[in-house]
Every structure is written in structure tokens, then in C-alpha cells.
Structure 1
Amino acid sequence: MALLFFLILAISTGPGLLESSSSVRLVRGPHHCEGRVEVKRNGQWGTVCDDGWDLTDVAVVCRELGCGAANGTPSGTLYKPLAEENQPVHIQDVDCNGMEDTLAQCVQDDDVFNCFHNEDAGASCEIPETVRLVDGPGRCTGRVEVKHQDQWGTVCQAGWNLRAAKVVCRQLGCGRAILTRACCDKACQGQGPTWLSQVSCSGRELTLHSCPSRPWQKNNCTHEEDAWVQCEDPFELKLEGGEHRCSGRLAVLHKGEWGSVCDDGWGETENLVVCRQLGCGEPLLSIAKAKKQFGPGVGRIWLDEVRCSGMEQSLEQCQHRFWGYHDCTHKEDVAMNCSPFRPS
């Protein structure tokens, strides 16, 4: 009888059960929907070999994490720091049909052979837009709004604090949270439903929806109590490779790493904003001539589809895609040449 019990236990704790209990995460990326793929086995996180890894597999990861559509299959080596040498590579030869709810349901090989961390798989998913800051001077400052049942609504200041603001700033790819307050003046008050109140974040959550709160719209708040958040301006700019600080290939600093800007939609108004922000004079070279002069960069491409009116004081105030989202190569890096003399 004892032997039969142990045989049943051995069968019930075999590979199928271990796979169903595994989980997945994306690490070291610009947000929780992009990064190096890691799966958890027996309480330990390990990487995924990119042998056989494709966009269908990424789509399953995106679904499991509650992210949007699959954007790409970047190499896991793009996300620094790299996996530690003693961290295992858990699976390889992943083969999903795209209909699975979790990566554990896909065909995969647990017997990893001849695969190392220079072959770690990465994944890039769209970020579902569930939170935003509106009516501020830029996308990183404004009234907090969340999306529920396809409708945007406000968040009550009751229970709100700087830890919750920190989560919002992180989720939006902005800098650290600087300030949070209630919208006492009518100029910043919202309309429609007040969706959330008594939001209680630890500050470590990846999304605001991960923080405990009262049930949706269960509150007696008015729009005078709408939460307002100011995040740090994440844009630090420089022009590199030129003869002076006002000429070169454009680089922006994000999460401690410099990266380039794609030229999709880039024009003279965007040039004007950068030259102004850097304290330089008017743009001198045409965009095409500047690109040819300074050539392509290396490393991350942080920004794409930047749109400025030309009146902004900072590139941060211009519209753009989420950090790290692009369909560009470094042949499309923005380069520019401003006058080194600021107009009087």
C-alpha cells in the first residue's frame, strides 16, 4: 500500500504538474511588458533559450502577463544587466500555436542542451493603456485617470499617497514621483465617474491596477478630490559625435541608459525644440545631411514617432510612443546640427 502511494505521488508530481505551476515574467525592460523572458521552476527563476522562439510564443507571454499585442522577439541580451552565469536556462525549443493562455501550456523542452545566456529570449508587448495623466503640461504630469469598462474616470485622493504616485510614474515610463495633491481648483478637475478610491500601493507594483482599492465607483468622492500627480521629467538629452555640444546624433537618457531616437515623423519643429532645450541656436543642417554626417548609433532605440508643435520648451512635452516601442533600425537615428550660439 505504501509503495502504491509513493507511485501515485511520483506520477502526480511529474513534469506535467511542474509545468502547470510555472510562471513567467519579463525583466530589465523599460516596462513590465518588455524584457528578457524568465520562467519559474521549483521556486527558481531561469531564462528561456531562443531556439525556436518566435512571435507566436511572444503572443502567449503577452496574454499571460495581461499585456497587449506582441510587438517583437528582441534578444534577451539587450536587457542589462545580463542574467547571472549561475542562473539556469530552464527551457528551449518552445513551440506555441498562439491559442494557449500560458507559456506552460506550449510544447517545450525542459532538457536544455547547449544553450547559454547569449541566447536568452526576449519579448516585447504593447502596454494596454489603463492609466494616464491628463490636463498637465506634459504626459508625465496631470490628473490621474484610469480606464474601466472602456471609459476613462478619475481617482479619488482619499487614501492616495506618494507610493501610489510612484507606481503611476513607473507604469507610464516617467521619472520618479515628485508631487501628488488633490484637484481643489476647477481648472484641473475631471468629469464623469470617479472609478477608484482608497488605493493602497506599496510602491513596488508594476501597475496601478495591482494595488488594492475599494470596488469600482464605490465612493462618495467629488471631483474636487481628484488625484493629481507630477513625475520627474525623464528627458535628459545630448548630441554626440559632433564637433561641439550642439551637433551630433541625438541621444536620450532613460532608466540610466542612453539610447537614440527614430526619425519617423521627425521634422524641423522637433529640431527646434531640441536646439532650444539644449540652449543652442537655430538648426543649421537639413535633417538628411545631418544623418549622413553623423551616421548610425548603437544600443537602444528609446523613442519613435515624436510629434512637436515647435512651441514646447522640452522634448518631454511632445507626443511620442511608449519608451522602447519602435519599428526602426539605427539607420533611422535622428541627427542634427544646431548653431552653438544661442539667439539673444
Structure 2
Amino acid sequence: MKRIAVLTSGGDAPGMNAAVRAVVRKGFYHELEVFGIYHGYSGLINGEIEKLDLGSVGDIIHRGGTILYTARSDEFRTPEGQAKAVEQLQKHGIEGLVVIGGDGSFRGAQKLIQHGIAAIGVPGTIDNDIPGTDFTIGFDTAVNTVIDAIDKIRDTATSHERTYIIEVMGRNAGDIALWSGLADGAESIIIPEAYYNMDEIIERLERGHKRGKKHSIIIVAEGVGSAVEFGNKIKERTGFETRVTVLGHIQRGGSPTAFDRVLASRLGAEAVELLLKGQSGRMVGIRYNQIISLDIDEALMQKHQVDLALYQLASILAI
């Protein structure tokens, strides 16, 4: 293998640039030509492919987002679009591809693999919802962003003696809500993976109020529903002054944490290593702090599992 390429697809995540940097520099270490594909699969179809050098990825490890940009592509979902993408890779003599993104990006890689293109997936999404890996690139940074926001909101909640309901991202996964809620001592954490009882939430709020608690924080994962609706229900049943904050896309941005920079560097380098070994159709991940790889098809057939032991702990500590 002499030529490889890297692209980022789907939602951006802090640490993607560190992964791109690792792919390029590991490739150069092994005397490969490395190409960057801009705007994901859409850019691949349109031939937005440029050769990268060491300077192309200089001074990017600390930057959020992705220097390769990202986009969604309806055309790539069609056989015609996939044929155009394969044609572009062949035109540039690219023999291997590293795809950095979430499950949708990995499904795109599956299509290219079916056309004979060697591809390796690197999990990059703040949602942490890719089965087979303990953590995805960007998750740790997103959680720390949420924690910083909650800390600030708590100051206001205390000053005004209010109950705050905070909605966080994560699609259908509750990892961001769970980790940030546990880290910040939220009174209740509401996630898609666990049954919640509104009566118990109300009882906990009222119990805290009776013992003199001045404020409460409730974290709601977006996959459960609207925080505004939860806020209205709580206000109707308790009469407590209630405010709602939807953190939104602030969770995707910002300089990646040390954990995400190191994780991205390890995963990006391992992806190149797998291509050099002639492997394809694999995704890299981390388990028990060890870098592993597994079949993409197998990974995508599994269901993401949240750590319910953490959920139980959060509930106990918020008594």
C-alpha cells in the first residue's frame, strides 16, 4: 500500500483534528502518500481530494472541529453516488481509507468496502454511542463542556433558589447526561436507557426542599424528550420556580481535552497500522485502556449499552 486517504463525516467532534494528524504523520512515518478528503462523502463524490504533508496537520491537535470539514450526503446513499466515490478513489490511486465519524459514517465505509475499497473506521462522536468501544473521540470534551455549564448554572440556581432542568445532547444515548449528571451531583438524571418515574423525581425535589435545599439540578438527555415539557410538569406539580436550559451545539465545540487528544492520536495511528497489515472492514476502539479493533459489521449489529451501574450510583448519591 502506497496511498491512503482520510475523511471526517457526520457531526463534528473535538479531537477529530488530532485523529487526522495521527493518520497523516503515521502514514508519513511509513513512507505513504496521504490524501485529505474534504466535506466527507459529498466531497469524495465531487473529487475534493488533496495531498497532505506534515505541515498540513501542524498546529491542529488542540483545535476543535475538523480541518477537513464535514457534510452529509444524500447522493452517497445511492448506488450511483457510491460508484462516483469509488471512481474518485481509483482516479487518485488511493488504496486505503480512514473514516472518522459515527455509525452513519461507518455505514458509508461499509458501502465502499463492498466495492473493494480497503477502509478502517475511527469512532468520532460526542454521543459515545458506537458499540464495541468504551469511549469515542469527542465524548470526554463534550462532558467537560456540559460540566462547566452546569457549574455556572448552579451559581444562578443557588442565588435565586430555583430548580433548573438542563437538556444535553447525545441523540438516543444517555452517556453525556449520565456522566455530567454524576460528576455535577444532579438530583435526577433522565436518560433513554433507564425507566424514570415522575412521581419519584417530584418526591426527591420536595424532600430536598423540606430539608432546606435551595436549588436543584435535573439533567435530561435529548433522546428522552423536551426539557421544556419536563420543566412545565415539575412546575405544575410542585409550584417551584423552574428554569430550562438547552445547551445545544456548544457541546460539540471547543479545544479537546487531553484524554480526547491522546485517544484520537492512538486510534488514528492504529487505523493506519491496520491498513498496512492488509486489513479492511475494521473499526478501532478502546477497551480497558487498550486499543482494539473489531469488525465494523459486528459492531453496528450490536446495541449501544450505557453503564447502568453509574446510573444507580448517581441515584444513590443524590438521595
**Could you say which TM-score interval applies, normalised by the shorter chain?**
under 0.3
Bigger helix share: 2
| Larger-Rg structure | 1
Given the two structures, how large is their TM-score scaled by the length of structure 1?
Answer: 0.26
Indicate the structure whose relative CO is greater, using CA pairs within 8 Å and at least 6 residues apart: 2
